[in-house]
Chain A
Amino acid sequence: EVQLVESGGGLVKPGASLRLSCAASGFTVNDAWMSWVRQVPGKGLEWVGLIRRKTSGGTPEYAASVKGRFTISRDVSQNTLYLQMSSLKNEDTGVYYCATDRGWLTFDCWGQGTLVTVSS
């Protein structure tokens, strides 16, 4: 069974950095396209970025709102996806989900999410 478990969220001040983790089971992170999607509490969903599976180049892509500040990576030995966030802004506050992509940015398996709050 495919399962994703996020961790690493918390309360940070504007300008700080934070790293989120997404531990995967039931598949190998190297073999999947994966994305991070965030949701402001009570609001809609926003795609943050993706990482291609290794056989497709393994490279990331980012939404314009986070490009240059966020970095997606993975550790095959830990079977874990990461989201390194820096220069955090108040508007980065939200629940961050990792998800597997069945193709064309269609997300078929989601983690439970981890809450990031950016506030002074």
Chain B
Amino acid sequence: QSALTQPPSASGSPGQSVAISCTGTSSDIGGYKYVSWYQQHPGKAPKLMIYEVSERPSGVPDRFSGSKSGNTASLTVSGLQAEDEADYYCSSYAGSNFVLFGGGTKLTVL
């Protein structure tokens, strides 16, 4: 199974909104509601930001939201802040106790 497809980079100015896409297939994103998004700052471990397509763990700002349509999931960051600059990875359950990750998107706050 191939990795999920994410754009390598995205950017926005403080206060703006930016969306990051994650494209898979009907065997992963399209077939399950178990899509997650992780934020990773340089030299740090990933942090869960969104799970089950659109749910936020406790402590994650509501500026972060998730959605899915067909085989593509999206993470939207609204009201961009400097600390949102990081790498973002999507993941999807792909059946048979297997998970796929995306290649990652580097978000730059201009």
| Chain A residues proximal to chain B, CB less than 8 Å | 37, 43-47, 50, 61, 63, 97, 102-108, 110-113
Contacts and interface: CB of A to CB of B under 8 A. Distances in A.
A44 B89 contact: yes
Given A50-B97, A63-B98, A105 B34 contact: yes
Max chain B CB contacts within 10 Å: which of A63, A105, A110?
A105
Given A37-B46, A47-B98, A105-B99, 7 more contacts: A43-B104, A47-B100, A97-B45, A104-B52, A105-B34, A106-B52, A106-B91
Q: Which 7 A-B pairs have the closest CB atoms?
A: A105-B99, A104-B34, A110-B45, A45-B101, A61-B97, A44-B103, A106-B51
B57 interface: yes
Contacts, number: 59
A45 B89 contact: yes
Interface of B: 3, 32, 34, 36, 38, 44-48, 51-52, 57, 89, 91, 93, 97-104
A46 B101 contact: yes
Contacts of B102: 44
23 contacts: A43-B103, A43-B104, A44-B89, A44-B102, A44-B104, A45-B38, A45-B89, A45-B104, A47-B100, A50-B97, A97-B45, A102-B51, A104-B34, A104-B93, A106-B36, A106-B51, A106-B93, A107-B36, A108-B48, A108-B51, A108-B57, A112-B45, A113-B45
A106 B47 CA distance: 11
B51 to A, nearest CB: 5
Contacts of B103: 43-44
A25 B55 CA distance: 26
Contacts of B104: 43-45
Max chain B CB contacts within 10 Å: which of A46, A50, A63, A106?
A106
Contacts of B38: 45, 107
A104 B32 contact: yes
